[in-house]
Structure 1
Amino acid sequence: MSKPNELELLADLEKISYQERYQCKTTYDVFCHAQDGYPTNIAIAEHLTATRDEVAKELTFTHLVKKINQTANLYKTFGVERNDVVSILLPNLTENHLSLWAAQAVGIANPINYLLQVDHIVEILNEVKSKILVTVSLDGTTELGKKVHEIIARVPSLEQLLVLDSRHGEGSNEQVTVTDFNLAIAGQSSERLARSSQPKGDDIAMYFHTGGTTGRPKVAKLSHDNISFVVQVYAGFNAYHGNSAVLNALPLFHVFGVIAASLAMFCAGRTVVIMTPEGFRNPNTVKNWWYFVHKYQVCWFPTVPTIISVLLQQPDEELDLSCFKHAACGSAPLPIELKLSFQRRFNCNVTNGYGMTESSCVVARVLPGYDVEGVSVGNGIPYSRVIAAEVIDNKISRVCNANEPGIILVKGPNIFQGYLNESDNEGAWVDDEWFNTGDLGLINDLGHIQLTGRAKDLIIRGGHNIDPQIIEDALMAHAGVLQSVAIGQPDAHSGEIPVAYVVVKDPQQTTAVELLLHCQTYINERAAIPKRIDILDSFPLTAVGKVFKPLLRNKATEFSVNALLKSHHITGHVSAEFDPEKGQVVHIQLANIQDKEKVATLLIAFPVLVNYTTL
């Protein structure tokens, strides 16, 4: 009997409803299931330094779940009820997991990027009306400690502060009560929560901030149903990896690190190895990555394109890496040459998935045992629906044919419960049932999805979203600026970096250097400060007078590639174009065709398709 194609496989899976197939209805159910099924398995192995001689701090599933119960009971003593919010401002630590999952057991968890500027953190905390904040300490000599002092003064809903290090201010003050996290949970019951106290599937489990690292926060509401569904689908997709450990250096304030790389692994009784509190920002994490792959006999790990590029640059070692077979890439588009180079060097399979906060992490993945062409992100996950469509006035005017580009719309049990602020839901839903991803793509006859661009103009820098309007508004606030446009420029390390083009009143009076200094003053989020500002005489316009951004993206791409060639003393002519089916394409005419291999290596991490000719 022939192997079914992907659509046939998905249809066969869906003959049983997901409610019947997946028994865990909440994230708390996932942990109860793990404790019952894998009580002595190591759940977490925590490395604080990732040096090769470091002994990890380990927790079995039995001990992990007991500590989650203790943390949940502590929250209850603080008066946390089902709709109260516990915000978590922590690096990657065991305590982050305890805080996160316990908060969902009795209330709503709100993980926050602790690297954000304090103004943005305060906005998020006030948006969600946070009752409890879990963080490292009140040490005013640290950057995070300084932020916490300002948070206390500016977030009136905050009642309790739980700290991992209480040496800098345990006790009470006028605003909040400060408590030592680990000492406090130790005194609580570790017994499983009574059924009446446990969450239900339609309860909100998490508030994730999204929509960019700058500007007013958009807060996505993810239910227990949403998360537990995705977790069980993802665990099933990875079942063929067995129970091998997983290295996780992705941040625990991001859905990829929390849901796919952590909870889905716990669901299957697998060990999650915490690779330092700083994750990939710790130099030891990358430097010793392959050592730990060998040490833990890792079969599969989750990563992002920038890290794949960095890992490719690590020197070879005498390590047996035959255990390593698979890498799952997410957060940003994966360039095809980067994928192929990684596969060749490490004799592995790299799949590029697709998801977002609003899809509880996953929209599409390559199905186990199947291959896709090029940079396809695979099929929509079981029980969901993904289409490419023409959309007019928030209505589907037409569903696109196979291989015809359109706006990607999704619906299914993975799709979130909307944004906390009702105004953010305007325009997010098409025909009142499809979530508009803002991405452009095409879907072939097998249901394989290929992303070709973005309808939304977000700049994705290293997996973090930046709203270009924040940059444009800051530049327009300058008296000498007439027009401004911010776009993402291809970058080998970050995927994209923000750059801006402006038209000024008087080029003799207003310079690019002055405008960069202006941005540094008026843009709070460092990641959003443009790396380059280019002053133009005028902008390219569409027939109706709107700025034609594809030409500016081409210009930025040409600048980036030319700069790279020049820095390596390679002569060539570069031109860029945007192809709606292929994405950003770069044509390079080389003076010496022998430079092609060198250029291909230099451009391996660029999110572009490259064509070569000779001058």
Structure 2
Amino acid sequence: MTAMDTLTLRGPEDLATIEGVPLADRDIAFTTYDIVRRAAASSPDATATVWIPDPSKFADAHSWTFAELLAAVHRIGNALVRLGVGRQDAVTLVSPNTGSLFATILAAEAVGIAAPINPVFDVERIGELMRTTGSRVVVAAGPEIDPGLWERLLDAAGTLGLTALLALRPDGAGTAAPRLGHRDGVTVAYLETLAATADPESLMVPPPRPDDVASFFHTGGTTGAPKVAAHTHSNEATTAWALALAGDFRSGAAILAGLPLFHVNALMVTGLAPLVSGACSVWPGPRGYRDPGLYGSFWKIVEHYSVSAMSAVPTVYGALAAIEVDARIDSLSVAVVGAAPLPHAVREAFFARTGIQLREGYGLTEATCASSVVPPGAGATESVGQRLPYQHIKAVDIDTDGDWHDLPPGRVGELVISGPAVYAGYVRQTPAGRVLSRDGVVDGWLRTGDLGSIDENQIVSLRGRNKDVIIRGGHNIDPMVIEEALLSHPSVVAVGAVGWPDRKSGEVPVAYVVPKPGAAVAHRELMDWAAAHIDEAAARPVRLIELPELPLTAIGKPFKPALREDAAARAAREELEAAGQSGVDVAATHVEGQLTVTVAGSRADIASASSLLRDFEFVVTGVTP
């Protein structure tokens, strides 16, 4: 019997019962290593994870039992220790999803600090993150998985200051492995070769403590440049326990896991939480939800593995809503959505297709992924659910002096979070070494930047992000109002609303629209549709821009900074052309969080453009050829 078998979280009464026992007094794992160890002790021969190399051949998969996973954590952890990895050392992991990557993340946390990185990043970005974390050991996709990435990392090994570059092999790889190459002063080897001779029974170093740092996760970067957030073992273990409880994960259940392991949602919701409850995570291919080939087999995978729960972002559910259900999916009862606001149109389309109500969750990397989730049996709801046990959420008003004022239930303000999930801080490198800076944490409360409310039953509702709000002449506009209205048009599949720089109002709303494939929709028709479906006149977009697709992060979140940059560049270009200055190049980007327009031309062109654009709320810089 697991710790989950005697507890439920279906409403505020359950929340009160659970919190009647202090968290410190609960017999649960407080480190990720202890999660794996307990799972192996409880159900050694049960299947812990299933890895599908090719989603089109979904029955051809490779599984690990809980005992095998623990043995792999011991072997890999001990191999890392032999390479000099200690408790304070970060191990960089750069690879698409594989069983060995998952085991290595757990092993790195057991003996040091796991630092997963998006494998699509270029070497320069990878190097920046490694310098931030201080990592000198890299575990990466080997030449069988991503030959281009492997060669780039091998070529840059000296520049990156590596002591070891270790290659992962694909799930189900054969006995013959390609040569890896050589670099002086760097251990270049297959990780499985080094792990094969290590002890599978125990760690050769003391196990981690709850307050030890377990991981460094770079943020999704939807509101600016990525940062690196540090999570302790207690952050991850207690959040995983609460997620398993809220998700009603049960021993032996199958949980579909399609998000990339460099993102905290994949590790917490579909990695650690199933381990806590004795459930099995099913990973549908190295690229997961980002693989277009997955969707032709998706419902058959659900049927074949009797998947009972899944977690994904809204864009995934939007894609699934367009696919005929060609298999029995009655096993699937829990479909959790998070990481980005859920459009009402996507909610309705997915329910119409499957009969399954999407259950929103809410969280952020700085609060270890999750702080609320809609509990099982709640039915249709527009909220993001009930706060998780032992986390506390409130809405506050922050005045111009920076003073906080708690708001009563139901009142909208900035959401702040306290409790065991609040991160250890952002990672910084200083002349004295690596430090953790708890940016945004005041007296134990984390500022989220999200607008919302929490009612007397501890149900959380969102009203947008502070940074996403469009401010038109002092009037705050929630972009979701615009996006929901346009998404209700039958020929529209995606919308992103942002502020268009405006001299008089500061900014005005503009919407980027993606039509359905093959659909032709007139601009005037959409403008009329917006006018008819958006009650607030100030919130109606002043223009619509059609795109083939919205810019997304690697896990499918809408990437609003790219849209704001495009809007700023277009606005600046139009202003300059109207003034007869059309011979300059204009680009926009975010520099240290500040929207910046760069004008390329002669010194005279730059001076003239700077004068013409001086009243806009963006920074203007210039470069000469």
Pair in the same fold by TM > 0.5: yes
Q: How does 1:188-227 map to 2 (within 5 A)?
A: 188-193=198-203, 197-210=206-219, 212=221, 217-227=226-236
1:16 CA drift (Å): 0.2
Match of 1:362 in 2: 370
Aligned partner of 2:197 in structure 1 is 187
Amino acid corresponding to residue 70 of structure 2 in structure 1: V
Please tell me whether the aligned partners of residues 205 and 224 of structure 1 are also in contact (alpha carbons under 8 angstroms): yes
Determine the C-alpha separation between the residues in 1 that align with 2:14 and 2:302.
Answer: 32
> How has the CA–CA distance of structure 1 residues 564 and 587 changed in structure 2, closer, same or farther, with 3 Å as cutoff?
farther
Report the secondary structure of 1:362's partner residue: coil
Q: 2:300 aligns with which of 291, 296, 307?
A: 291
Match of 1:108 in 2: 113
Query: What do the CA deviations read for 1:491-536 (whole angstroms, capped 9, x no partner)?
Result: 979966698856xxxxxxxxxxxxxxxxxxxxxxxxxxxxxxxxxx
Q: Deviations over 1:16-44 (max 9, x none)?
A: 01122242010000000110111111112
The alpha-carbon distance between structure 1 residues 565 and 130, as it changes in their structure 2 partners (threshold 3 A), is: same
Tell me, in whole angstroms, the C-alpha distance in 1 between the residues paired with 2:146 and 2:305. Answer: 37
SS of alignment partner, residue 419 of structure 1: strand
Distance 1:439 1:575 in 2: 25
Separation in 1, partners of 2:84, 2:117: 22
In 2, distance between residues paired with 1:143 and 1:458?
Answer: 40
How far 1:205 sits from its partner (Å)? 0.1
| Residue number in structure 1 paired with 2:411 | 404
SS at match of 1:272: strand
The partner residue of 2:511 within 540, 553, 556 is 556
TM-score scaled to structure 1, two decimals?
0.75
Is 1:26 the equivalent of 2:31? yes
Partner-residue secondary structure (3-state), 2:511:
helix
CA distance in 2, matches of 1:149, 1:328: 39
1:266 alignment partner, one of 265, 271, 275: 275
Q: For 1:571 and 1:372, how far apart are their aligned partners in 2?
A: 31
Contact 2:77 2:107 in 1 (8 A): yes
Conserved? CA contact 1:438–1:455, under 8 Å: yes
Give the aligned residue type for 1:189.
D
Q: In the alignment, is the contact (CA less than 8 A) between 2:299 and 2:325 conserved in 1? A: no
SS of match in other structure, 2:452: strand
Is 1:99 equivalent to 2:99 in the alignment? no
Q: How does 1:161-176 map to 2 (within 5 A)?
A: 161-164=165-168, 167-171=178-182, 173-176=183-186
- CA-to-partner distance for each residue in 1:190-223, whole Å, 9 max, x for gaps? 01226x6100000000001116179764211100
User: Which of 350, 367, 389 is matched with 2:358 structurally?
Assistant: 350
Per-residue Cα deviation, 1:342-368 (whole angstroms, up to 9, x for no partner): 223212232000011111110111233
Among 128, 137, 140, the alignment partner of 1:132 is: 137
Post-superposition offset of 1:341? 2.7
State the Cα distance separating 1:576 from its structure 2 match: 6.4
**Structure 2: segments with no counterpart, 5+ residues:** 1-7, 170-176, 471-478, 543-556, 560-625
Tell me the residue number matched to 2:503.
539
How much has 1:113 moved relative to structure 2?
0.5
SS in structure 1 at match of 2:93: strand
Task: Identify the range of structure 1 (99-108 vs 563-572) with the bigger mean alpha-carbon deviation.
Answer: 563-572
Q: Report the Cα distance in structure 2 between the residues aligned to 1:326 and 1:65, rounded to whole angstroms.
A: 28
Q: Are the equivalent residues in 2 in contact too, given 1:43–1:269 (CA < 8 A)?
A: yes
TM-score in terms of structure 2 length: 0.74
Find the aligned partners of 2:322 and 2:9 in 1 and give their Cα distance.
Answer: 39
The structure-2 alpha-carbon separation of the partners of 1:393 and 1:93, relative to structure 1 and needing over 3 Å to count, comes to: farther
Amino acid at match of 2:330: S
Following superposition of structure 1 onto structure 2, how do residues 461-500 of structure 1 map, counting pairs within 5 Å?
none
Paired AA for residue 567 in structure 1: V
Corresponding residue of 2:420: 413
| C-alpha distance after superposition, 1:324-346 (max 9, x if no partner) | 21201111111123213322321
**Code of the aligned partner of 1:176:** V
Measured against aligned partners, the alpha-carbon deviations of 1:452-486 in whole angstroms (never above 9, x if no partner) come to 11113499xxxxxxxxxxxxxxxxxxxxxxxxxxx
Query: Which residue in 2 is equivalent to 1:77?
Result: 82
Shift in CA distance, 168/458, structure 1 to aligned 2, threshold 3 Å: farther
Give, as a single letter, the amino acid of the residue that structure 2 aligns with 1:77.
R
1:59 aligned residue (52, 61, 64): 64
Q: Which residue is equivalent to 2:448?
A: 437
Structure 2: distance between partners of 1:430 and 1:188: 41
Residues 162 and 180, structure 1, Cα contact 8 Å, conserved in 2: yes
Match of residue 373 from structure 1: 381
Give yes or no for contact 1:372–1:448 (8 Å, CA) kept in 2.
no
**In the alignment, which of 157, 160, 164 is matched to residue 164 of structure 2?**
160
In the other structure, the counterpart of 2:457 is 446
Q: 3-state DSSP class of the match of 1:421?
A: strand
Secondary structure of 1:230 counterpart: helix
Structure 1 residue 308 displacement after superposition:
0.5
Indicate the residue corresponding to 2:389 in structure 1. Answer: 382
AA partner of residue 182 (structure 1): E
CA separation in 2, counterparts of 1:85 and 1:408? 32
**2:74, 2:199 within 8 Å by CA — same for their partners in 1?**
yes
Change in 2 beyond 3 A, CA 1:378/1:578: farther
1:129 Cα deviation (Å)?
1.1
1:262 to 1:14, Cα distance in 2 relative to 1, 3 A = same
Q: Secondary structure at 1:556's aligned position in 2? A: strand
CA contact (8 A) 2:10 2:377 kept: no
Does the residue aligned with 2:216 lie in a helix, a strand or coil?
Answer: strand
SS of residue matched to 2:362: coil
- Structure 1 counterpart SS, 2:230: strand
- Partners of 2:146 and 2:289 in 1: CA distance: 24
1:449-460 mapped onto 2 (5 Å cutoff):
449-457=460-468
Please state how far the C-alpha of 1:281 moved relative to its aligned partner. Answer: 2.1
Change (3 A) 1:310 1:215: closer
Given candidates 571, 576, 582, the residue that maps to 2:525 is 571
Tell me which moved more, 386-395 or 37-46.
386-395
CA distance in 1: counterparts of 2:277 and 2:213, whole angstroms: 23
Deviations 1:20-76 (A, max 9, x none): 224201000000011011111111211111124641111111111101110001011
Could you tell me how far 1:287 is from its partner in structure 2?
Answer: 1.3
Change in Cα spacing, 1:272 to 1:560, as seen in structure 2 (3 Å) is closer
Cα separation, partners in 2 of 1:501 and 1:175, compared to 1, 3 Å: farther
Structure 2: distance between partners of 1:314 and 1:248: 19
**Hey, what's the Cα distance between the residues in 2 that align with 1:141 and 1:409?**
41
CA displacement 1:102-131 (0-9 Å, x = unmatched): 000000000001112332211101111112
Aligned partners of 1:122 and 1:151 also within 8 Å? no
Structure 1 position 243, deviation (Å): 2.4
Contact 2:97 2:288 in 1 (8 A): yes
Partner residue in 2 for 1:528: none
- Name 1:279's counterpart in structure 2: 288
- Given that 2:214 and 2:233 are in contact with CA atoms closer than 8 Å, whether structure 1 keeps it comes out as yes
Q: Quick check: 2:534–2:540 contact (8 Å CA) kept in 1?
A: no
Following superposition, the deviation at residue 574 of structure 1 comes to 3.8
